Amino acid sequence: MSSATDTTETPVDVRAQAVDALPPAAAYIAGTYRTGSGGHHTHRDPATGEELRSWSLSGPGEVDDAVGAAIPAQREWQGLEPGQRRDALLALAETVAAHAQTLAALVSLEMGMPLRASEAGVLAAVDWFRHYAGYADKIEGAVPAVGSPSRTLDYTRYAPYGVVAAIIPWNGPAMALALKVAPALAAGNAVVLKPSELAPFSSLYFGSLVTIAGLPNGLVNVVAGGAEVGARLCANPAVAMISFTGGSVGGRAVAEAAAARHVPTVLELGGKSASLVFPDCNVDRTAKLAAILGVAQNSGQGCFLPTRLLAQRSIYERTVEAVVAAAAKFRLGSPFDPGTTMGPVVDERARERILDTIAAAERRGDGRLVHGGRRATGGGLAGGNFIEPTIFADVDPASPLARDEVFGPVLAIIAFDDEADAVEIANGTSFGLAGYIWTSDLGRAHRLADALQAGYVSVNGMAALPAAAPFGGWKASGHGVEGGRHGLEEYLRIKNVHVQW
Ligand code: NAD
């Protein structure tokens, strides 16, 4: 992949290539694009407001046909030898790698993520496919100690569910699809992938890569659309397992739909994760990183980003100053400009919702606005959905700003007295996705890692979803995991076979 700073491709070229690569229709079923029969949607470039597509999203007919096409494809897939599935998944990984530049550019075009971050996400997605390809021929059961070995054999074996629904959000679509499709296929399932209507293009393009890689037609079908398309998919009797990533409201609806049919789910939901900053870390460096991770990274539109910064009182003022100084240097701009550190938020609705959230927090006095807080329109940004990096200090830990997910470039800074106070504040939301500890005291790091109610804890850094490690939420952040062996097992059911003679 050429990097965004290559001189051979100007930023304009990359964007133009992405426009040329826009998929023609909102459904990809059994190896071909199909015009959607669902609701009309106009997709605008979040950075410019320019219309990219005005089209019909997938409708009920496409959803049903996608599931119908997946059924025979899954049988064919399951009938292959494990090594054949491994090789096919490796071929898919290499096909995605060969088309990484286009896939990354489509992500940046559809939802505004700076190209360098999109590229990193696509390369990580390739790694997830390679990782799970390696599991395809290593799925093995056990022989539990049951009965006399001279008269009995008891063994376990794993089976795929069949057709799996993978419902993903718009905020990092290439990664999100890999986190689900890679383990689901490695386990022997077929997948109907439902991307958000706000970021449909990369998933549809990915569907065509599955065909290019030579996997059976219908093994991965893509139906782009809104919540109603997801709901239709969840209700289809042939969908035997649902993996959902999204917000709490959608997650609850999916859980209810799944419960009605006794179908298992993985739910990866929202978060309000905290960075805990202690005086024994490199405070200035940490504050800068906290500003990048909590505000600039994907413009705050990330489930596990640390959108609360908790600093001990002795370093509190210094931390606030350093965060503001770092945020003042962020450069808002086109996702295709290599100098951009912060792109737009996903659409006009998100922009207005975030600005309303900021205004409400100010009105209520949830905290003291120390940086940003407005829409950014200068320097050619007026057509896009840009919001200034926004920092609130002295935030009341009990306030909505400290407890609710904003999903925008808004950081809440809170002072704490000691470890116990920090833990109480960090755990004081309904969420439990991630926690970040910044300290040079090893004992403190492990104590706090144990005390934080979160499925993912990072000390002095962030690993950004490696394929080999389980990632998942506690509490209202969901249940089930993605990554590693545990992530594979979400897509397998176990059978015990007891034989007597
Ligand atoms: P969302 O819940 O609105 O939508 C997510 C997906 O679910 C979309 O494809 C949507 O169309 C679909 N959907 C919504 N309601 C549905 C329903 N009733 N039935 C079936 N499908 C339905 O979320 P979003 O705005 O796309 O994404 C942002 C949210 O996702 C944030 O809350 C963020 O924290 C969360 N998220 C979580 C993780 C994680 O791994 N925990 C990762 C990324 C994003």
Domain membership of residue 17 (yes or no) is: no
- Confirm if 460 and 437 have CB atoms less than 8 A apart: yes
Tell me, yes or no, whether 247 and 334 share the same domain: no
Tell me, yes or no, whether 315 and 452 share the same domain: yes
Tell me, yes or no, whether 304 and 256 share the same domain: no
Positive or negative torsion for Cα 166, 172, 174, 176: negative
Residue to substitute in 63, 303, 405 for testing ligand 1 pocket (most ligand atoms within 8 angstroms of CB): 303
Low-confidence ranges of the chain (pLDDT < 50): 1-8
Tell me, yes or no, whether 360 and 438 share the same domain: yes
Residue 3 has a pLDDT of 37
Tell me, yes or no, whether 347 and 211 share the same domain: no
Tell me, yes or no, whether 353 and 223 share the same domain: no
Tell me, yes or no, whether 207 and 294 share the same domain: no
Instruction: Write the single-letter amino acid at 251.
Output: G
* Tokens coding 398: 């009990």
Tell me, yes or no, whether 325 and 220 share the same domain: no
Residue 395 has a pLDDT of 98
325: Cβ contacts below 8 Å, ≥ 6 apart: none
Tell me, yes or no, whether 115 and 182 share the same domain: yes
The proportion of the chain whose per-residue pLDDT surpasses 90, expressed as a percent, equals 97
Among the listed residues 176, 413, 447, the one whose alpha carbon sits nearest the alpha carbon of residue 315: 413
Residue 10 has a pLDDT of 53
Residue 464 has a pLDDT of 85
Residues of the domain holding 413: 274-467
Residue 268 annotated in active site:
yes
Domain membership of residue 288 (yes or no) is: yes
Ligand 1 contacts (CB < 6 A) are 167-171, 194, 196, 226-227, 230-231, 234, 245-247, 250, 253-254, 268-271, 303, 405, 407, 433, 473, 477-478
Domain membership of residue 366 (yes or no) is: yes
Q: How far is the CA of 495 from the centre of ligand 1 (A)?
A: 32
25: Cβ contacts below 8 Å, ≥ 6 apart: 33, 34, 35, 36, 55, 204
| CATH number, position 379 | 3.40.309.10
Half-sphere exposure of 353 (CA within 13 A, CB side): 11
Tell me, yes or no, whether 204 and 328 share the same domain: no
Residue 12 has a pLDDT of 54
List the residue whose alpha carbon is closest to atom 10 of ligand 1: 227
| CATH number, position 94 | 3.40.605.10
Q: How far is the CA of 475 from the centre of ligand 1 (A)?
A: 16
Number of domains making up the chain: 2
Residue 303 annotated in active site:
yes
